[in-house]
Amino acid sequence: MKDFFHRDLLDTLKKWIDRREIYAIKGPRQSGKTTLLEMLREWLIEERGVDPEAIVFLTFEDRDILDSFSSNPKEFVKSYTAKKKGKRCYFFIDEFHYLKDGGRILKLLYDLFRDVKFVITGSSSLELTGETAKYLVGRVFFFYLWQLSFKEFIQVKAPELLAYYEEKSDFLRRFIQNGVDFSPEGKDIFLKDFSRYFEEYANWGGYPEVVKSNDRETKSIILKNIYETYVTKDIIELLKITDAETFRKIVSLLANQTGNILSFTSLIQDTGTYFKEMKNKVSILEETYIIKLIQPFYTNRTTELKKSPKVYFIDTGLRNSILHNFSEIYLRPDRGALVENAVLSILRTGYAEEDVLVRYWRTLSKAEVDFVLRFRDSVIPIEVKYSHAVPKISRSFRSFLSSYNPERAVILTRDLWGKERVNNTFVKFVPLWYI
């Protein structure tokens, strides 16, 4: 293959490529969706022996292509498939969300062309999960392509460390999910290396073009352009939001609130907007993959939905770009929130949302636990402690253990491995990048 970054999602796409269902790949703008389609195309040609002419690659950001397709979708597809009767064809459609009434049209094409595999991408969950999904029930597999995970980041930056990283990460995963104990053998000889790479990942994020660049100025310009393109393409053009400056101010305020409980009251006061309008804009930011809202953990699900969420950014590099701050972590007054956000990024890419819910816990007396992983039959509290001091189990963390009596818990550290038992709970201390 060409010099592409390896993406774990590609292996999943290969797995079901022979099924009829449409692939719908969602994710942030410039997270690598177009490149992923190119990688899948190359694999089909080189490994599966597919005729290159049987793979049609379209982008609906090209207005001419979009207009031609929209005018008569059936004839458009037929023009490519007529000479290949009995042979399977592939239609890769990038930026599918620009197609008006796309769900209904795609359902029609799916039902008419049984020998065509449709693969679509989009930068907004509002389009691909709303109207599109309504028409495609039973006909589509949805996938997410985020910015590079920390594992993918290591594979790019230090491939010689990948096997070591995967081994340690798998230890922790088996402990979290199944309670399998582990004790790392000998000294963790790559602690300083992983610490350095984690801080780079936290500071600059995981956008592929940013990871590919080696100097700070270029990284900064790329992140700025990603944000400007997002505002222009997704907010102004696609969603027809005219007050872009208010939108930018909201994003900036949220960047300063990272890791805190979202206060709609303060946002409304600082921007002069109304509650309904603010709720709509925050929802748009989440649906277009700029922010991630984490709901509180309660055993009563109804109560859980009523309480205020905490706000994080999908990519820490974009968040830092909005704040115009790429200072080293140890110099930053917001280092706690930044590290916590980076941990969430690793959690989000490491655990499928259908398998685990990520929550936070806070009581009226303000006892708090950073994250709670809610599996079907267990809960795992996780605390983030990023300092050189030996971390201790906080009073808040002990309060959660006392209240919910989980079998397992995790303290994420800067450089410490260890374990401790608190009543019936087995607590593991693990360097945070392995989560």
- Please tell me the distance from the alpha carbon of residue 213 to that of residue 138, in angstroms, as a whole number: 41
Tokens of 247: 């939108």
3 state DSSP class of 295: coil
Residue 128 has what pLDDT? Answer: 57
The DSSP call for residue 10 is H
Provide the domain limits for residue 17.
Answer: 8-145
Q: Is residue 305 part of a domain?
A: yes
Residues 178 and 40 in one domain: no
- Please tell me the distance from the alpha carbon of residue 46 to that of residue 39, in angstroms, as a whole number: 10
Q: Is residue 247 part of a domain?
A: yes
Residues 163 and 233 in one domain: yes
115, 145, 175 - which closes a domain: 145
* CA neighbor of 19 nearest in space, from 144, 138, 128, 106: 138
Which ranges in 293-376 belong to alpha helices (H)?
A: 301-306, 316-323, 335-350
Q: Is residue 25 part of a domain?
A: yes
* Strand arrangement of the beta sheet that strand 379-385 belongs to: 357-362, 368-374, 379-385, 408-413, 425-431, 418-422
Residues 165 and 212 in one domain: yes
Q: How far is the CA of 408 from the CAs of 40, 361, 363, 398, 404, in angstroms?
A: 40, 16, 21, 12, 11
Residue 187 has what pLDDT? Answer: 80
Q: Is residue 3 part of a domain?
A: no
Residues 155 and 141 in one domain: no
- Please tell me the distance from the alpha carbon of residue 163 to that of residue 73, in angstroms, as a whole number: 47
Q: Is residue 74 part of a domain?
A: yes
The CATH number for 46's domain is 3.40.50.300
Task: Give me the number of domains the chain comprises.
Answer: 2
Residue 126 has what pLDDT? Answer: 60
Residues 287 and 375 in one domain: yes
Residues 73 and 156 in one domain: no
145, 161, 186 - which closes a domain: 145
Residues 140 and 162 in one domain: no
**130 contacts: CB under 8 Å, gap ≥ 6:** none
Residues 257 and 346 in one domain: yes
Q: Is residue 130 part of a domain?
A: yes
Q: Is residue 2 part of a domain?
A: no
Residue 304 has what pLDDT? Answer: 60
Residues 177 and 260 in one domain: yes
**Per-residue confidence of the chain (435 residues) as pLDDT tens digits?**
566 889 999 999 999 999 999 999 999 999 999 999 999 999 999 999 999 999 999 999 999 999 999 999 999 999 999 888 778 999 999 999 889 889 999 999 999 999 999 999 988 766 555 667 788 888 999 999 999 999 999 999 999 999 999 999 999 999 999 999 888 766 889 999 999 999 999 999 999 999 999 999 999 999 999 999 999 888 888 788 888 899 999 999 999 999 999 999 999 999 999 999 999 999 999 989 999 999 999 877 666 666 899 999 999 999 999 999 999 999 999 999 999 999 999 998 888 777 899 999 998 888 999 999 999 889 999 999 998 888 889 999 999 999 999 999 999 999 899 999 999 999 999 999 999
Residue 349 has what pLDDT? Answer: 85
Residues 126 and 155 in one domain: no
- pTM score of the predicted model: 0.92
Q: Is residue 39 part of a domain?
A: yes
Residues 282 and 362 in one domain: yes
Residues 73 and 116 in one domain: yes
What string of DSSP letters covers 366-430? --EEEEEEE-SS-EEEEEEE-SSSPP---HHHHHHHHHH--SEEEEEESS--EEEEETTEEEEEE
- Please tell me the distance from the alpha carbon of residue 150 to that of residue 349, in angstroms, as a whole number: 8
94, 120, 145 - which closes a domain: 145
Cβ(293)–Cβ(376) below 8 Å: no
Residue 305 has what pLDDT? Answer: 60
Residue 97 has what pLDDT? Answer: 86
